[in-house]
Structure 1
Amino acid sequence: MSSINRADFRFIEELVEFIRGRGYVLDLSDATFSEFFADELNVDIDDPIYAVNGGSKGKRLRTFLSTVDDDAAARALKALWDHRVQFLASTGNSDPVHNAEGRYLTLVGKLANGTSSGTGEPPRPAHDRAKIEALRSELYELRDLEPQRRGYAFESFLQRIFAEAGLAPRQPFRNVGEQIDGSFVLDNEVYLLEAKWTRSEIGVADLRAFHGKLEKAAWTRGVFISYDGFTEVGLAAFGPARRMFCVEGRDIYEGLDRQIPWVEILRAKFRHAAETGEPFVPLAKLFP
């Protein structure tokens, strides 16, 4: 278990309870508390093991910090501290806890030099490894299907990936006579989806054709997923990213292998396109 003692826990309570009171953790709701641990730490804080002393967010946090080793406890405290700093900055309020930063750094320093590192319970992962491995195997097996079946199966596979990520995917539909491979919602924005498995890289003609579909709705963005990737010539001829970004099959494989949440892959791809104008960048460069 971690080296955190009673005095440390009293300080941690000061840090996290000043916004909403005892039993709460900063400004996090039940849903965002779970999302925070999953996204920032890959921890399933809703696992019953963390509710043995009570189901409130504060009690689950205390149980988590008590049972994991010093390294995991320090990572969690750092993530909570960063969130706390952002909250205070957004409100413009001064820190209500006396010498909070100095005391926080002292606590994290103690954990870094603790004697219990590696002896606590491993955090319960937020990702179902068996399910991830099943998805990876399914994607691998699609290669042996004949082209038409493979295309439909690939669309179905992507629908499950988006559904697992909570992105409200919609099945393929027709829009003004044109086939759309589906849509999803990311950060309250609707994205149209184009998915192709062609045994060859996608060139500029397909990129421009999909972008033409996006231009028919002023508010729509899009994601082009090509299992076999994109030609460098096609990406260069297409020009700067305007309303879409691209994903290749290798991105999906690597994301599953490394258990990088699908939502975070899409967000990173979108941000890169918005900041650089490049419609495609390999996942390995976004998550080195």
Structure 2
Amino acid sequence: MSSLRPIDFRFIEELVEFVRGRGYVLHFSDASFSEFFATELDIDIDDAIYADDGGSKGKRLRCFLRKVDNATAARTLQAMWEYRREHLYSTGTTDPVANAEGRFLTLIAKLNGEASPASDVPPKRAFNTEQMAGLRSELYELRNLAPQPRGYAFEAFLKRAFDLFGLQTREPFRNIGEQIDGSFLLDDQIYLLEAKWVQQPVGVETLHAFHGKLDKAAWTRGVLVSYNGFSADGLAAFGPAKRLICVEGRDLYDAFERQVPLADLLRAKVRRAGETGAPFVPFTALFP
């Protein structure tokens, strides 16, 4: 565990809570906070081990810094300091914390100068970068298969990819005579999953058909994955998102390329659907 003291945590809170208030960390959203830890530090800050004090970003950060060793705490704070400094510069904001840099450097020097016992549970890596690259290559290679085996291979590929990010998938099953490609859990919500690899972008008929399956279980949401995307006319005719979000093949390629966990991609799509009513928002609009 780190050797950070209560007075150190009060200073860290001063550094990160001035933008949005207590419980927040700078101007991070939930998705960008997770992405920051994943891309900058290769750490899964959403691991339940860091939620002992609660689920807010501030509480997760405090729990994380308390549990890790001094070297990891110092590395994390240095990365966050750079992010904070860039925010102050880009917004033209004067640092509201008195002697922030001097106090920060003193804290880092203390962490780097003091040995601490190794954490019983080392930080969980956000993901395996080699596996992410492998998934991207595997998805690309599926294009070489004939249509029927490609469809089955696409379903199996999605199951492996979702399982890699802890989404607890279930195998395909039948519900009142209808084939469902599978289901998974995201933030304790059950989602039905349907995968399509057809020549043309998916249209309104497929969207309505899948949504009809969701209507048979009032507590279920759905994710429709179409490798070749969705037609603009079909999305317009379908109307506002109800309990359905859409993912296209390009989203998957971009997530693997940018090393964004699939759970974070889905959370961003769910949130944007709730905010705008759009069942499909591309990766590039969610993670510019």
Measure, in 2, the Cα distance between the counterparts of 1:134 and 1:268.
Answer: 23
Q: What's the CA shift for 1:169?
A: 0.4
1:74 alignment partner AA: W
Measure, in 1, the Cα distance between the counterparts of 2:270 and 2:76.
Answer: 35
Measure, in 1, the Cα distance between the counterparts of 2:214 and 2:171.
Answer: 17
Q: What's the CA shift for 1:126?
A: 2.9
Match of 1:74 in 2: 81
Cα distance, 1:271–1:73 mapped onto 2, change above 3 Å: closer
Match of 1:106 in 2: 100
Q: What's the CA shift for 1:254?
A: 0.2
Flag structure 1 segments of 5+ consecutive residues without an equivalent: 1-5, 18-26, 28-35, 47-55, 79-100, 115-122
2:79 alignment partner AA: A
Match of 1:58 in 2: 66
Q: What's the CA shift for 1:175?
A: 0.3
Measure, in 2, the Cα distance between the counterparts of 1:233 and 1:73.
Answer: 43
- The TM-score normalised by the length of structure 1 is 0.68
Q: Identity rate of aligned residues, in percent?
A: 50
Cα distance, 1:216–1:125 mapped onto 2, change above 3 Å: closer
Match of 1:164 in 2: 164
Which structure carries more relative contact order (alpha carbon 8 Å, separation 6+)?
2
Is residue 265 of structure 1 aligned with residue 265 of structure 2? Answer: yes
Q: Deviations over 1:197-229 (max 9, x none)?
A: 012100011101001111011111101000000
Q: Deviations over 1:156-211 (max 9, x none)?
A: 11001110111110011000000000000111110001100012100011101001
Cα distance, 1:207–1:69 mapped onto 2, change above 3 Å: closer
Contact map agreement 1:228 1:248 (CA 8 A) in 2: yes
Alignment of 1:6-155 (within 5 A): 11-14=7-10, 39-42=35-38, 43-44=41-42, 58=66, 60-66=68-74, 68=75, 71-74=78-81, 102=97, 106-107=100-101, 126-155=126-155
1:58 alignment partner AA: R
3-state secondary structure, aligned to 1:214: helix
3-state secondary structure, aligned to 2:162: helix
Contact map agreement 2:37 2:43 (CA 8 A) in 1: no
Match of 2:211 in 1: 211
Flag structure 2 segments of 5+ consecutive residues without an equivalent: 14-22, 24-31, 45-63, 86-95, 109-122
3-state secondary structure, aligned to 1:191: strand
3-state secondary structure, aligned to 2:97: helix
Q: What's the CA shift for 1:64?
A: 1.6
Measure, in 2, the Cα distance between the counterparts of 1:212 and 1:108.
Answer: 60
Match of 1:195 in 2: 195
Contact map agreement 1:202 1:234 (CA 8 A) in 2: yes
Measure, in 1, the Cα distance between the counterparts of 2:287 and 2:33.
Answer: 19
3-state secondary structure, aligned to 1:201: coil
Q: Deviations over 1:214-266 (max 9, x none)?
A: 10111111010000000000001111111101000000000000011111100
- RMSD of aligned residue pairs (Cα, Å): 3.5
- The TM-score normalised by the length of structure 2 is 0.68
Aligned residues: 223
Measure, in 2, the Cα distance between the counterparts of 1:178 and 1:251.
Answer: 27
Match of 2:280 in 1: 280
Contact map agreement 1:224 1:244 (CA 8 A) in 2: yes
Q: What's the CA shift for 1:12?
A: 2.4
